[in-house]
Amino acid sequence: MNVFERYLFLWVSLAILAGLLFGNLFYAFFETIAEIKIYEVNLVVAALIWVMIIPMMANVDFNRKTEYKKFINPLVVTLILNWLVKPALMFFFSFLILRLFIPNLFSESEWREYHAGLILLAAAPCTAMVFVWSSLCKGNKEFTLTQVAVNDIILIIAFVPIVSLLLSISNVSIPIETLILTVVVFVVIPFTIGQCIKTIDFSYWLGTRSKSIYKICNILPQISLLLIIILLFGTQADKIRTMPFLIGALSIPIVLQILTIALIGYLTSIKMKIDFSLSAPSCLIAASNFFELAVATAISLFGLQSKAALATVVGVLVEVPIMLLIVYLLNYSRSFYENKILQKP
């Protein structure tokens, strides 16, 4: 476990605080960044997400030789939770909390936009941070890579229809072409570039300097993640500072979704007696969200300073501490799981 993973909560907290501070001090600067876009895709956000995701995508190897048979059960659990249960669950929690329990907090149009942001947050499984979560609970690396590879393929096909369906039910109108464009820009292209990079023998071209290049490439995704967080919280700093109750309200459905999905995944793994090194990353990737894609899509559809973008930013604020809590609980229960559930000596 490297320094970034060991002190993840600290780095993310500092990035959030930096974003809030800079956003209030240099509001005009963040407004300028919000306007740097082509075809509604913010170029600064796109560049940072590419830097973060491409090295992760390069780790996905479809030619890797491994025992895929033992991955079938936990993979099925993950896919069902990711693509059938989680989006519908977020739809339910968002409607229940934001529309029924606190209806006077939002106007009809405001609720629809916040609701859209939450749907975007839940409609895609995590493909980047899941490597960190899996590493923290000593999950099977081969299985984690397999999960990411399968989910990336499904994401390309299923993300647009799922989002379109759930938002149409809520009477939220979105341009489908923009939604498709964000998937191409933030999933298809980085995935293709990552797979191409994997085939290049850098040691042949760079010699001894290749080791230094690899070290730099290993820290770029971490730096990019922190810069993304600073940028996102910088653009939403005024709203977060002046409307803490709103942030708390948006956090409730996100927390409920993450904890419920993790619990369902864990109980299902117990029922199926799946090995802990497989069940832990299965629960984690199912519970966590591809917030980078959600943020980018919300920005493309509604704007960098929109209510939908704010909802996805709250997802970043909430997800890291909640996922770290789940990692802690999984690690705490590991002995019980292996000795009692699996009945290992």
Q: What is the pLDDT of residue 196?
A: 79
Listing DSSP states for 246-285 in one string gives HHHHHHHHHHHHHHHHHHHHHHHHHHHT--HHHHHHHHHH
Confidence at 195, pLDDT banded by 50, 70, 90? confident
Strand partners, 38: 41
Burial of 332 (C-beta count, 10 Å sphere; 0-12/13-18/19+): exposed
Rg of the chain on CA atoms, in Å: 20
Please state, in angstroms and rounded to a whole number, the distance separating the CA atoms of residues 152 and 133. Answer: 18
φ, ψ at 38 (rounded to 5°): -130, 130
Q: What is the pLDDT of residue 62?
A: 58
On the question of pLDDT at 202 being above 60, the answer is no
Chain mean position to CA 127: 7
The CATH fold of domain 3-341: Na+/H+ antiporter like fold (1.20.1530)
Q: What is the mean pLDDT of residues 96-125?
A: 85
Task: Give tens-digit pLDDT for 18-56.
Answer: 988 998 888 888 888 877 877 767 788 888 888 877 777
Q: What is the pLDDT of residue 345?
A: 46
Q: What is the pLDDT of residue 209?
A: 58
On the question of pLDDT at 103 being above 80, the answer is no
Q: What is the mean pLDDT of residues 303-308?
A: 81
Task: Give tens-digit pLDDT for 253-301.
Answer: 999 999 999 999 999 988 888 888 898 888 888 888 888 788 888 888 8
210 or 121: whose pLDDT is higher?
121
On the question of pLDDT at 167 being above 90, the answer is no
Task: Give tens-digit pLDDT for 46-99.
Answer: 888 888 777 777 666 656 555 567 788 888 999 999 999 999 999 999 989 988
> What's the mean pLDDT when you consider all of the chain?
82
Q: Which of 156, 163, 176, 178 is nearest to 39 (CA)?
A: 178
On the question of pLDDT at 331 being above 70, the answer is yes
Give the β-pairing of 37-38 and 41-42.
Answer: antiparallel
304 or 207: whose pLDDT is higher?
304
Q: What is the pLDDT of residue 206?
A: 57
Confidence at 187, pLDDT banded by 50, 70, 90? confident
Confidence at 11, pLDDT banded by 50, 70, 90? confident
What are the residue boundaries of the structural domains of the chain, listed by start? 3-341
Q: Ramachandran region of residue 171, left (φ > 0), alpha (ψ -120 to 50) or beta?
A: left
